[in-house]
A and B are shown apart, each in its own frame.
Chain A
Amino acid sequence: MKWFIDVSTRKKLLMGFTVMLVFMAIIDVFAYIGIASVNRFQNKMMEVEFPLTVECVKLKNLTNRERLLMSRIIMMRRGPVVEQLNNDTHVTENEINDALQAITGLARGHQDYTSLVGKIIASRNEYVNEWDKQIYPLILNGKMIEAKKFYLQTHLQHFEDIRKVATELVDISTNRNKSFKIQSGRVMTRSLYIFAITGGIAIIAGVVISLYLTRIIATPLKRISTVAEQISYGDLTSKISPTNRKDEIGTLTLTIGMMVESARSMTSEIQGAVKVIASLSNAMVECIERKDLGKEEIIAQIRERAGKLNELGQKLKELVEQYKV
């Protein structure tokens, strides 16, 4: 990971956050795919199978009601009540036709449904024709025995056929609904697993990236700030650990290290100069106190040392001028 340590801190942070964002994006994509799949299955159920089941059940109920009305007509003699009941059967017939129309529309494009709907319509046409053209005219003519015979044989057979096919249709659509529900459940479970796994990986990656960035950025900064604090108290004995990092931390470490070493070197120069000043000063005092030297000699020696002091002063001045204040 040397290359990563050497890239700038800004790029490091950008890369770290980008990796975390990528993980979040992956989680988002998986969540979207999962929810979209579940939604697709639910739409399929609500578009065809569920309304088809409802319409088929409605068809069966209406057919039962119609059959009940026809039974009552068969049980009665000709009269106003029979006509009224026959009108009721026509109303029910219209409702049945509406239901059949809805079923036909829903079954369109589904081969297995359309063939069954075709059977229902065929049986239904025969059932209605037989009533209108054979049974009901016999009732009107008072031939109740012949009418009952038709009603309980072929007409009953058509009624049973309609109910049987409608039940078959309900069974198929119900089974298909169950299948969609199972598939939707599977997709949901798979999505949850993927979501949990990618989420777990993202959390682990986030923690690892955060710890790693802390280790390579915050820890060295803390170390440098500790040394800088010691320098601010005038302690130049602190040592900065050498580093060959090429990023801002590396530059800062080198700069602080150079600064400490420069200050140490400068202080050492000044200490040396102070020692020389002290020794020259002592030598001048000793020279004045000596009894064996004449006045001229003392002046010459003092002049010589004063010259050295002057040179030293010049050197110190040059040193101090190196500071920009």
Chain B
Amino acid sequence: MAERILTYSEALNEALREEMHRDPSVFLMGEDLCTWGDEGGVFGVTKGLANEFGTERVRDTPISEQGFVAMGVGAAITGMRPVVELMYGDFLALAMEPLVNQAAKIRYMFGGQVGVPLVVRTNLGASGGKAAQHSQSLEAWLMHVPGLKVVVPRTPADAKGLLTTAIRDDNPVVFLEHKLLYFTKGPVPLGEHVVPLGRAATVRPGSHLTIVGTHVMVDRALEAAAELFDEGIDVEVIDLRTLVPLDIETIVSSVERTTRLLICHESVERAGWAGEVAMEVMKHAFDALDAPIGRVCGKNVPVPYSESLEPLVVPQAAEIAAAARALLAGVELSLPALTG
């Protein structure tokens, strides 16, 4: 299939545009989607869409996160497919009532009478000193609520393919982007591109250790893996792509080969999803493990502002590399023969 190089933001924009063309029930709501900056969206995701589809289908809202997310739920149970944007993931705290008590419950609590085909898009992550109220990674909150799906795309192609799938899904999907990824570039298929939920991507094959992560943690793991390879350590890196549903099979089959697992997330360590992945791996592959499962996560503090402090609380490549070395300390390793 033909591809072009797009930014992550452009890829998301393309998914929205294509789905709005395909399905008249898709509409967008959020703050500053229509005219902010360069024709829409703080991160440019809705650029040009208000011009193309009109301000009925691309609606600027007042600053009322609980209200307009709840309206998304109401529209979703009466025949529409709303895609609602929260400008920052931290504002999930303002919208948890409709997401947790309404969207996630309605299908089950009403005995399957109706589904909630709602997408709530927002972003996670520390970047450039946005400090404690604009930097959090709160995905574990959402994973803890049965009824929600949680999607975490990393590449532009996945951004397009997973958003397309999320919009077509008949369940509430929280679609979590990352601030540092909006302007990264990559190949994106032209035309319809669908990536199923619940399928992780092995982005680097390796034999000594498996690292699983999401978003920029995958990039930092790849950076660490390149450094470790020079030291004779061969790391496999898995991008989970979605957290609910979670592709535990891909992780388990990797760990069965590598026998070691390191889990990386930017969200804080305490009660983070590394614990969930570790328990699942112990359940399914305990006998395969040759070392305790390790994790490198955000520190249990709010994200600080200063450029000298922010990087200390968010995992960096060096910390991931160090944790990998520790998991393999004292083990004699041999690199696979370089063939071909």
Q: Do A and B bind each other?
A: no
Which A positions have Cβ atoms within 8 angstroms of B? Answer: none
